[in-house]
A and B are shown apart, each in its own frame.
Chain A
């Protein structure tokens, strides 16, 4: 499997994926307002991961077209802090039969940061047997911060699987209570739970140096 790495940048124009590929995206500097498009060819799989710890405002949009039997796994971990205004618009278009997509967006909004997860998962007419899932979760840390999730499913075909789940809220009280009841100090419990939202994305990065930087950014981001 081939790995494409983009750090603090996108690609020019359109990306064609014609062999099994991993896509590793990491933003540390200025939030890039990009409009990216990808086509995943028939029978090919794309596993994409984006870790966003940049600052600024804008909209990042990624549109993925899936041909017959193609699959997409998308994992995003993002932090919006200190008056950042970030919109992620991640869409998957099932153009033909048996295509699969999982779009999973996780983020935290704190210190006045605003984070929006948007995007459409669309199963086109004729794309029978396709399977699409969207999940989005944002933890809002304080009252000055804001999170929005608006997952949209558009289904123009029968005989498909489609599901979505979205939640925006404070740190889960049940989770916090559970950890506290085992003696973890509140600060550590909060840190562990929040890390639990952001860290899973690391599993999709190959480059150890980049992984280390992302891990550090997660720790610092909390």
Chain B
């Protein structure tokens, strides 16, 4: 059976700086792949590139999902093809009502729109599954949500959109133990349905709850090591130093984090910074 996701020699630049330098990675249906690696080495860039975030420029290579050329697809087409990315920092969208948005997102992938009853039944079940009050569907999308609520809301969307491959970017950061349990059990239910996951986390705790089938370590924009779940334990215990020792890979230091400034903060400050 061909791989669900196949990435070949993927090179990606952000504002002219190459972050991914030839990623090769495959993921089969039903697998949960843990993506590890030091900060700033390309894990989030890889997930964002697969989803189609316009800040990432693919300079070389291919991504195929279910045999389709992902790089030729628009962002919304990727979503409709069955890809989903739970973002590390979900955008707060002023004035956009959560439930209007969820309905539009669910209907976008259907030939016939959901009836109001179907929609609310699904919505209620999903809110219950992630443990956030149903009344929150009246709030603006992510606006004023706490860190934990945002993460749960990402999982809620995953449950409603039923992707074949869900990519989770540090879904556990900012979650307390109870919330992590809830998120993990939602993931496990989806795993039981045969859905696939690509998971980025820094903590062995989440991984121990969702039992990844494989692990890959991204260092310097490449997959340095690829193996079974035992890799997660080793990295949790020993860090990344052994990779340098055993494989002779020099681990580049994290470059200063890019601080993406977007419209909506203080125009004058942004303009001053960019010298406009």
> Quick check: B108 and A185 within 8 Å, CB to CB?
yes
Over the window 167-178 of chain A, the binary record of Cβ atoms lying under 8 Å from chain B Cβ atoms (1 yes, 0 no) is: 111101111011
> Quick check: A178 and B105 within 8 Å, CB to CB?
no
Q: How far is the CA of A16 from the CA of B52 in the complex (A)?
A: 55
> Quick check: B95 and A169 within 8 Å, CB to CB?
no
B14 to chain A, nearest CB (A): 14
Check A184 for interface membership: any CB of B closer than 8 A.
Answer: yes
Most-contacted residue by chain B among A169, A174, A188 (CB, 10 A): A174
> Quick check: B262 and A173 within 8 Å, CB to CB?
yes
Q: How far is the CA of A149 from the CA of B262 in the complex (A)?
A: 17
Check A122 for interface membership: any CB of B closer than 8 A.
Answer: no
Instruction: Find B161's partner among A149, A174, A183 (CB 8 Å cutoff).
Output: A183
Q: What's the tally of chain A residues with a CB closer than 8 Å to chain B?
A: 32
Known A-B contacts A172-B262, A178-B87, A178-B93; the reply to A183 vs B101 at CB < 8 A is no
Q: Report A-chain residues with C-beta under 8 Å of the C-beta of B138.
A: none
What is the interface of chain A mostly: helix, strand, loop, or mixed? helix
A174 to chain B, nearest CB (A): 5
Q: Report B-chain residues with C-beta under 8 Å of the C-beta of A193.
A: 93, 95-96
> Quick check: A196 and B267 within 8 Å, CB to CB?
no
Over the window 98-112 of chain B, the binary record of Cβ atoms lying under 8 Å from chain A Cβ atoms (1 yes, 0 no) is: 001100110011000
> Quick check: B101 and A197 within 8 Å, CB to CB?
no
> Quick check: B263 and A167 within 8 Å, CB to CB?
yes
Among the listed stretches B29-37, B71-79, B202-210, which one makes contact with chain A, having 4 or more residues with CB under 8 Å of it?
B71-79
Of all chain A residues, the one with the shortest Cβ separation from B75 is A180
Q: How far is the CA of A172 from the CA of B92 in the complex (A)?
A: 11
Check A62 for interface membership: any CB of B closer than 8 A.
Answer: no
Check B265 for interface membership: any CB of A closer than 8 A.
Answer: yes
> Quick check: B266 and A177 within 8 Å, CB to CB?
no
Q: How far is the CA of A116 from the CA of B84 in the complex (A)?
A: 40
Q: How far is the CA of A197 from the CA of B74 in the complex (A)?
A: 25
Which residues of B168-205 have CB atoms within 8 Å of chain A's CB atoms?
none
Q: Report B-chain residues with C-beta under 8 Å of the C-beta of A166.
A: 266-268
Closest 6 CB pairs between A and B?
A196-B95, A183-B79, A169-B263, A180-B75, A183-B108, A167-B267
